[in-house]
Structures are given as C-alpha cells and as structure tokens.
C-alpha cells in the first residue's frame, strides 16, 4: 500500500494497540474470519435474539394456551370440580356442542354478524370515510376523522351505555325522543325490541370502521400526487381515479384489513355482551364467541363449565385459523414479503 497521507503517524491514538504497533500496511489489518457455518449460525442467533421477547410472550400466551385449550376440551373441568385432577371424557364436549339445539342458529348469527359488519362498516364505511376525508380540505378531513376515533377512546361500558340510551324505550330513549314517528321508532326499546341486529352491527361497526379508516387514509395520502395529476390530465373523472388508481394502490392495506377484521369480528363479543347479552329472547343475537365466553365463565347456577367453554373456543379458533391461513394463501401475502437486502453478517 502506498503512503496513507491522511494523517501523520502518531497524530492520533488508536485504541486498538495491535493496529497502532503494526505499520500501516495491508497485512496489518485484522480481519477476523469465521467459518461459513459459524457465521450463518451467528446471524440466526442474532435474529432470534431480536425476536426473543416476542417469541417468549407468544409461546406463553398463545401457544401454550392454545394447546391447553385443546386439552381442556377433552375434559369435564368446571369451577365445581376445579380442584380434582382433570378427567378425560373423550369427544363428549364436541358431540354436545355440535348437537346443541341452538348450534345452527349461533353459526348463522356469527356469519351474518361477521360479514355484514365487515363489509358494511369495517371495510365499506372505512374506505368511504377515508376517500371522502382525503378529498376535502385537510383540516376538515382531520376533524371528521378525529370524531370518528372518539368511540375507540371510550370505555366499552360507557360506549354501550350511550347506545343503549339512544335506543331505549320512552321516555329515556334519544332516538324515540328526536324522531317520535319515524323510521321504525315506536316508543319501544329499539335494541331489545325493534331491531337488535341493527344495534349490534352499528355499535361494533362504529368502532371497527375507524381502524380501517386510519389505515386507508394514510395509504391514500402516501399515493404520489403526480399520479393523480397525471390521471386528471388524462381526463379521468373522480370516480375513475378512485376506481383505477386509488383502490389498486391501496390493495395491500385492503387485504390486511379484511384479514385482520374478519378474525377480530369472529372472536369479539364484548359489545354484544354489554348491549343485548345475546338477546332478546333465546340466542337472537348470540354469536359463537359470546357462547364460548358464557359457557366458560357465566354458566348455570354459578358453575362455570370451563371445559365446555374451551370446546366452543377451540372450535372457533380452529375456524379462525383456517380462515387466516386461507386469507394468507388467497391474498398471497407471502409474495408481498420482500427479501432482506442485507445478507451477510
């Protein structure tokens, strides 16, 4: 190597004694070398180090409970025989589940609830809100999205209380007061009498829509303005721009939200529990997840049938898993995954 004129010798103190002793020639440079296998191993260990905390939590609170749930579904554990060893009863719980008189109804309810809410609100309204609010002055759009986020900040009990007040019978109900003779108002209770499903879907939809709205909004805002200008210059109408440019460009978030919200809706029941508790009457708005919860924690005569609840849960989780894998395959999520552009460590 030629003289390295950047700095005079002795000008600076190198901390590595080895380097400063050895004259600054090519052979003086230390290059620790590992075997190819050793380096691969190290890289993998580093990656798993980063994933460690997440993996530990996933193991303890997803994998282990998942397996436990499966085991439980073959026992007859309940809060009554809680201290006894678990007794294996084979497929009894499953046959009990599938022969349940209300099983078909619950199944129908669940699918109706999930897909209606998903399409009307969590996807449809969310997309509409995102499109409309990004097409108006920034501040105005901002304001409407903020209001739409409020339900998310509200404690579930209070949020549902608000909806109950809206739908309650005279003289308490707000809807009945504002529109005494309008659109199905009869002075009676709207969520337990008139149209329970409307209320169940509205309450859930108002929460669900805001999630999609925010994702879609940021996706829409990240579309390069040039593209839209180009389309306008080409003479595309507002509708064509939305259909031909905006929607295709936010395909990925659309797919993610579809997947995420399907699974969320399938397993959520908190708002239904608080609003109608599956009523009015027998299983009118009862969904699968709610049944699982009620069997496990709030069953007859103070006896929580944990094992039976677990059976409902495990079957639902299985359905959700199949759906999730289906979505992953159908939407080809794997193909959207980019290979890291740093390989050698």
Ligand X SMILES: Nc1ncnc2c1ncn2[C@@H]1O[C@H](COP(=O)(O)OP(=O)(O)OP(=O)(O)O)[C@@H](O)[C@H]1O
Query: Rule CB under 6 A: which residues touch ligand X?
Result: 339, 341
For residue 168, the 8-state DSSP code is P
Tell me the backbone φ, ψ of residue 8, rounded to 5 degrees: -75, 155
Kindly identify the residues of this chain, within the stretch 248-267, that bind other proteins according to CB under 8 A: 249-253, 256, 259-260, 263-264, 266-267
Q: What proportions of the chain, in percent to the nearest 5, are helix, strand and coil? A: 70, 0, 30
Q: Quick one: what does residue 60 bind among other proteins, ligand X, none, with the CB cut-off 5 to 8 Å set by partner type? A: other proteins
| CA distance readout (Å), 314 to 96, 172, 260, 270 | 14, 41, 19, 18
196 touches other proteins (CB under 8 A)? no
* Cβ-based nearer residue to other proteins, 238 or 281: 238
Choose, by CB under 8 A, the member of 22, 98, 108, 165 that binds other proteins: 165
Least CB distance to ligand X at residue 337 (A): 12
**Alpha helical stretches, state H, 134-269:** 138-153, 156-167, 174-178, 196-221, 225-233, 238-241, 247-249, 251-267
87 touches other proteins (CB under 8 A)? no
233 touches other proteins (CB under 8 A)? yes
Kindly identify the residues of this chain, within the stretch 16-35, that bind other proteins according to CB under 8 A: 16, 24, 26-27, 29-35
Kindly identify the residues of this chain, within the stretch 256-315, that bind other proteins according to CB under 8 A: 256, 259-260, 263-264, 266-270, 289, 292-293, 296-297, 306, 309-310, 313
Choose, by CB under 8 A, the member of 155, 182, 225, 301 that binds other proteins: 155
Q: Is residue 26 a contact partner of residue 1, using CB atoms and an 8 Å limit?
A: yes
153 touches other proteins (CB under 8 A)? yes
Q: Is residue 187 a contact partner of residue 170, using CB atoms and an 8 Å limit?
A: yes
Least CB distance to ligand X at residue 341 (A): 5
* Cβ-based nearer residue to ligand X, 60 or 345: 345
Choose, by CB under 8 A, the member of 94, 103, 112, 333 that binds other proteins: 333
Choose, by CB under 8 A, the member of 9, 18, 22, 48 that binds other proteins: 48
Least CB distance to other proteins at residue 250 (A): 6
Mention every residue, 6+ apart, whose C-beta is less than 8 A from residue 304: 78, 79, 295, 296, 297, 298
| CA distance readout (Å), 333 to 138, 170, 255 | 33, 51, 9
CA dist 113 and 265 (Å) reads 8
CA dist 325 and 329 (Å) reads 6
CA dist 303 and 109 (Å) reads 26
* Cβ-based nearer residue to ligand X, 1 or 336: 336
Q: Quick one: what does residue 134 bind among other proteins, ligand X, none, with the CB cut-off 5 to 8 Å set by partner type? A: none
89 touches other proteins (CB under 8 A)? no
Least CB distance to other proteins at residue 320 (A): 4
């Amino acid at each position: 190597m030629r003289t390295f004129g950047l700095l005079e010798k002795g000008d600076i103190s190198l901390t590595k004694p080895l380097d400063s002793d050895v004259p600054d020639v090519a052979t003086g440079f230390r290059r620790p070398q590992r075997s190819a296998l050793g380096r691969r191993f190290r890289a993998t260990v580093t990656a798993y180090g980063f994933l460690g905390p997440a993996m530990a939590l996933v193991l303890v609170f997803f994998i282990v409970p998942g397996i436990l749930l499966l085991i439980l579904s073959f026992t007859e554990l309940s809060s009554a025989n809680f201290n006894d060893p678990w007794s294996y009863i084979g497929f009894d719980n499953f046959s009990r589940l599938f022969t349940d008189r209300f099983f078909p109804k619950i199944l129908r309810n669940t699918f109706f609830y999930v897909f209606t809410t998903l399409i009307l609100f969590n996807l449809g309204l969310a997309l509409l809100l995102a499109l409309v609010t990004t097409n108006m002055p920034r501040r105005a759009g901002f304001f409407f999205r903020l209001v739409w986020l409020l339900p998310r900040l509200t404690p579930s009990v209070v949020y549902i209380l608000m909806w109950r007040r809206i739908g309650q019978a005279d003289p308490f109900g707000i809807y009945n007061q504002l529109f005494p003779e309008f659109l199905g108002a009869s002075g009676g209770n709207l969520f337990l009498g008139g149209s329970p499903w409307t209320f169940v879907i509205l309450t859930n939809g108002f929460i669900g829509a805001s999630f999609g709205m925010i994702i879609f909004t940021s996706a829409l805002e990240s579309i390069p303005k040039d593209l839209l200008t180009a389309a306008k210059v080409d003479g595309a109408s507002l509708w064509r721009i939305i259909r031909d440019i905006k929607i295709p460009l936010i395909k990925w978030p659309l797919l993610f939200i579809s997947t995420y919200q399907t699974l969320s809706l399938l397993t959520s029941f908190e708002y239904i529990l608080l609003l109608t508790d599956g009523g009015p009457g027998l299983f009118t708005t009862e969904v699968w997840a709610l049944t699982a919860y009620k069997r496990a924690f709030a069953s007859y005569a103070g006896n929580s049938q944990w094992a039976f609840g677990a059976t409902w849960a495990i079957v639902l989780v299985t359905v959700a898993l199949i759906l999730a894998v289906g979505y992953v395959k159908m939407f080809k999520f794997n193909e959207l995954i980019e290979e890291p552009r740093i390989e050698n460590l």
